Structure 1
C-alpha cells in the first residue's frame, strides 16, 4: 500500500537517499547521477523551510509494506505577492515503481492541497520533450503545453528542448 503525505523531519534521511537514487535512474531529472550531494541535514532543512510556507509543499510517497520512500513531489511557491498563486512542480519516482500510478497520486494530493489552501491557481512544470511517458501523464492530468524552451537541458553533452506546461485550477 502506498501512502501520499506531506514530508516531515522524520523523513530527512530517507528523502535524501531517495532523491540521490532517482537522480541516478533517469536522465530526465535536473541533476544527474552523482552530480549533487544532499545530506539528511540538507533534506531536513528544506522540509522544515517548506512546512512554514503557505504556498509551497513537499509530498512523499511511502511504501507502507517496506517503510521506503518511493517518490516525491515538490510544489515550490513564490514569495512575491504577485506570484504566490503560482507553483513550480518537480516530481520523481523510483524506477522500480514507474507505471504504478505513484506520480498520479502525488499530483492529485498536491491539487487537493492547492484547492484547500485557496492560494494556488497556477501549477507549472518543465519536461524534456523526449520524455514521452511523463508528457503523456501530465497531459492526462490536464497540463497543457505553453511553449518550448530550446536547448534548455543538456543530457550527455547533447542539448534537448523542454516543454513548459501548466494547469490552472
Structure 2
C-alpha cells in the first residue's frame, strides 16, 4: 500500500536517500547521478523550512510494506504578494514504481492542498520535451504547454529543450 502525505522531520534520512536514487535513475531530473550531495541534515532543514511556509509543500509517497519513500512532490510557492497564487512543481518517483500511479496520486493530493489554501490559482512545471511519459501524464492531469525553453538542459554535450507547462485551478 502506498501512502501520500506531507513530509516530516522523521523522513529526512529516507528523503535524502530517495532523491539521490532518483537522480541516478533518470536523465530527466535537474541533477544527474552523483552531481549533488544531500545529507540528512540538509533534507531535515528543507522539510522544516517548507513546513513553516503557508504557500509551499513537500509531499512524499511511502511504501507502507517496505517503509521506503518512493516518490516526492515539492510545491514551491512564492513569498511576494503578486506571486503567492503560483507554485512551481518538482516531482520524482523511484524507477521501480514508475507507471503505478504514484505521481498521479502526488499531484491529486497537492491539488487538494492547493484548493484548500484558497490562494493557489496557478501550478507550473518544466519537463524535458523528450520525457514523453511525464508529458503524457501532465497533459492527462490538465496541464498545458505554454512554451518551449530552447537548449535549457545540457546532458553531457547535448542540449535539450524543456516545455513550460501550467494548470489553472
Q: TM-score, normalised by structure 2?
A: 0.99
Counterpart of 2:153 in structure 1 is 153
Q: Distance in 1 between matches of 2:107 and 2:46?
A: 20
Q: Distance in 1 between matches of 2:155 and 2:164?
A: 18
- Shift of residue 6, structure 1, vs aligned partner: 0.1
Residue equivalent to 2:119: 119
Equivalences for residues 1-169 of structure 1 within 5 A: 1-169=1-169
Q: SS where residue 58 of structure 2 aligns?
A: strand
Alpha-carbon deviation of 1:24?
0.2
Cα shift at 1:157: 1.5
SS at match of 2:65: coil
1:134 Cα offset (Å)? 0.2
1:113 Cα shift?
0.2
- 1:22 is paired with a residue whose SS is helix
List, as ranges, runs of 4+ consecutive aligned residues in structure 1 with deviation greater than 4 Å. Answer: none
Shift of residue 38, structure 1, vs aligned partner: 0.4
1:117-152 per-position Cα deviation (integer Å, ceiling 9, x unaligned)? 111110000000000000000000000000000000
Aligned Cα RMSD in Å? Answer: 0.4
Corresponding pairs, count: 169
Shift of 1:160: 0.3
CA-to-aligned-CA distance 1:69-110 (integer Å, 9 cap, x gap): 000000000010000000000000000000000000000000
User: What's the CA shift string for 1:36-62, capped at 9, x where partnerless?
Assistant: 000000000000000010100000000
Deviation (angstroms), 1:65: 0.4
Unmatched segments (≥5 aa) in structure 1: none
